[in-house]
């Protein structure tokens, strides 16, 4: 069941969204060679709790970290560890959620570690641009869920990358994951009709190689099946009378 939010509820979600976005920036400030992903996770947790919120991911389904921190071929759900130390040329994905006043925010971004390859930078750029094309599709009159995925996947494919299909975006609200699912692929004009008051996470997960992925033995970390690089970009988006609003975007 899709839960449509009231303007008052979206106002509360802006607070969760702002804290989420700021927590990602706090973590990103630490990204450099020699820093462990656990140290970044500690910083993110400290920031969220300092704001009076709770990390949405900590303990969610048993997840041990406050953020999912995935490096290079890791697609999503990377477990923060003192043994995972960033190196020059890596790309690292920070996926963060914050819960406050009864609502969650959910956002992700991919960052370079020092100087990265041209291919890695292209992947990051394609992933981010595909999100904004999906966002644009969501704001069109009489838009449907399939319009978002068609816009994302069409752009990604045209630029020689591939869209992960096993994992998708989702609704966000009092629960971290709500209906509807928001695939990053699909057919325009298909799926649930978008309406004012819906709040969704649009989150393309894009591989430089093939789209297939696999889960590691830790039960969480998802990696590309072919060992190619992967990037992730996500915002929690409210559909308002003024169009789509990125609740997790901070300046």
Reported as a single tens digit per residue, the pLDDT across 63-84 is 999 999 999 999 999 999 999 9
Q: Is 72 left (phi over 0), alpha (psi -120 to 50) or beta?
A: left
pLDDT tens column, 209-227? 999 999 999 999 999 999 9
And the tokens for 222? 């998802």
Q: Where are the domains of the chain?
A: 7-246
Distance CA 245, CA 142 (A): 17
> Percent of the chain at pLDDT above 90?
100
Question: What pLDDT was estimated at residue 34?
Answer: 98
Question: What pLDDT was estimated at residue 89?
Answer: 98
Q: Where are the alpha helices (DSSP H) in 29-175?
A: 37-50, 118-138, 145-158
Q: Please say if the pLDDT value at position 228 is more than 90.
A: yes
Question: What pLDDT was estimated at residue 167?
Answer: 98
* Residue (of 224, 178, 187, 225) closest to 205 by Cα position: 224
Residue 55 contacts residue 34 (beta carbons within 8 Å): no
Residue 134 contacts residue 126 (beta carbons within 8 Å): no
- Does the CA dihedral 139-140-144-149 come out positive or negative? negative
What are the C-alpha distances in Å from 223 to residues 53, 80, 167, 173, 213?
Answer: 30, 15, 12, 28, 6
- For residue 233, which phi and psi values (nearest 5 degrees)? -145, 130
Q: Please say if the pLDDT value at position 180 is more than 90.
A: yes
Topology (CATH level 3) of domain 7-246: Creatine Amidinohydrolase (3.90.230)
Distance CA 178, CA 200 (A): 8
Q: What is the pTM of this model?
A: 0.97
Residue 64 contacts residue 93 (beta carbons within 8 Å): no
Distance CA 215, CA 201 (A): 22
Question: What pLDDT was estimated at residue 251?
Answer: 78
And the tokens for 129? 């641009």
Mean pLDDT of the 123-139 span: 98
Residue 113 CA, chain-centre distance (Å), reads: 19
Residue 35 contacts residue 27 (beta carbons within 8 Å): no
Residue 188 is inside which H or E element, if any? none
Mean pLDDT of the 32-48 span: 98
pLDDT tens column, 181-219? 999 999 999 999 999 999 999 999 999 999 999 999 999
């Amino acid at each position: 069941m899709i839960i449509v939010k009231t303007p008052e509820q979206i106002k509360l979600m802006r607070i969760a969204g702002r804290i989420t976005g700021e927590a990602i920036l706090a973590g990103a400030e630490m990204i450099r060679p020699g820093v462990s992903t656990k140290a970044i996770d500690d910083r993110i947790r400290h920031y969220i709790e300092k704001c009076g919120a709770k990390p949405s991911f900590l303990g969610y389904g048993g997840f041990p970290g406050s953020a999912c921190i995935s490096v290079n071929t890791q697609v999503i759900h990377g477990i923060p560890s003192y043994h995972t130390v960033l190196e020059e040329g890596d790309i690292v994905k920070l996926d963060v959620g914050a819960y406050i006043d009864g609502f969650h925010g959910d956002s992700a971004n991919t960052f370079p570690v020092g100087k990265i390859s041209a291919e890695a930078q292209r992947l990051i750029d394609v992933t981010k641009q595909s999100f904004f094309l999906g966002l644009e599709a969501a704001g069109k009159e009489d838009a449907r869920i399939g319009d978002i995925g068609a816009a994302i996947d069409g752009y990604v494919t045209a630029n020689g990358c591939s869209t992960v299909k096993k994992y998708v975006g989702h609704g966000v609200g009092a629960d971290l994951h709500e209906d509807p699912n928001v695939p990053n692929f699909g057919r325009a004009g298909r799926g649930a009709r978008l309406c004012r008051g819906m709040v969704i996470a649009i989150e393309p997960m894009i591989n430089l190689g093939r789209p297939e992925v696999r889960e590691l033995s830790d039960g969480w970390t998802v990696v590309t099946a072919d060992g190619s690089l992967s990037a992730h970009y996500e915002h929690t988006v409210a559909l308002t009378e003024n169009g789509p609003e990125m609740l997790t975007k901070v300046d």
